[in-house]
Structure 1
């Protein structure tokens, strides 16, 4: 893999238990806002938006069945020491850490606390 790849839940999904209501994942949506605000930088990474229901086949193929919670950033190279791993793949699945890595690795602005 030559680029980092980010998996997000498609915004505007529905819940069969709440018909007629549209939802977004709050963790994925924080990252979606950053990507939308800086489209030139967003082009530096691959982004795949997957449907809400599990199983999430493309995510399972990338990081294993036990790591389907999103968002997840799969790292192409030079993974930090705190990255998790599965089958030789390094990844991060904590939103705050993903945002830090997008700033460090791809030039996105940092969050101000």
Structure 2
């Protein structure tokens, strides 16, 4: 049985277009906050942080070269995938950060965003 896998941009990344500055992903930051607020629940899914530069080998291996946008929640088979999940072959995934937050609440018991 596979677990849900969450892939995020590692905080503090550098964008070559903005020399000398470091960044966080505005879409991943709320998810990072939720994970940090409840490490016990976060341990119930596989979380991976990857660099900003493309190609992103971990994302390509999980999905494909055309789906490297982050964050992404790749749904394991412990619970049914929601009807709105995207599908590649047998892999179900969600890329909308608000929907990821909802699914972390539904599938893993995190508090909901108000």
TM band (smaller chain): over 0.9
Secondary structure (helix, strand or coil) at the match of 2:54 reads: coil
Q: Which residue of 1 aligns with 2:91?
A: 89
Q: Which residue of 1 aligns with 2:9?
A: 9
Q: Structure 2: where are the runs of 5+ without partners?
A: none
Q: Is the 8 A contact 1:5 1:76 kept in 2?
A: yes
Let me know the Cα RMSD of the aligned residues.
Answer: 0.9
Q: Which residue of 1 aligns with 2:51?
A: 51
Q: Structure 1: where are the runs of 5+ without partners?
A: none
Q: Which residue of 1 aligns with 2:112?
A: 110
Normalised TM-score (structure 1): 0.95
Correspondence 1:70 to 2:82: no
Distance 2:46 2:36 in 1: 14
Q: Is the 8 A contact 1:63 1:87 kept in 2?
A: no
Question: Of Structure 1 and Structure 2, which has the larger fraction of its residues in helix?
Answer: 1
Q: How far did 1:88 drift?
A: 1.3
Deviations 1:40-61 (A, max 9, x none): 1100000010000111111011
Normalised TM-score (structure 2): 0.94
Count of aligned residue pairs for this structure pair: 112
Distance 2:72 2:109 in 1: 18
Q: Which residue of 2 aligns with 1:38?
A: 38
Deviations 1:58-79 (A, max 9, x none): 1011111111110000001211
Secondary structure (helix, strand or coil) at the match of 1:36 reads: helix
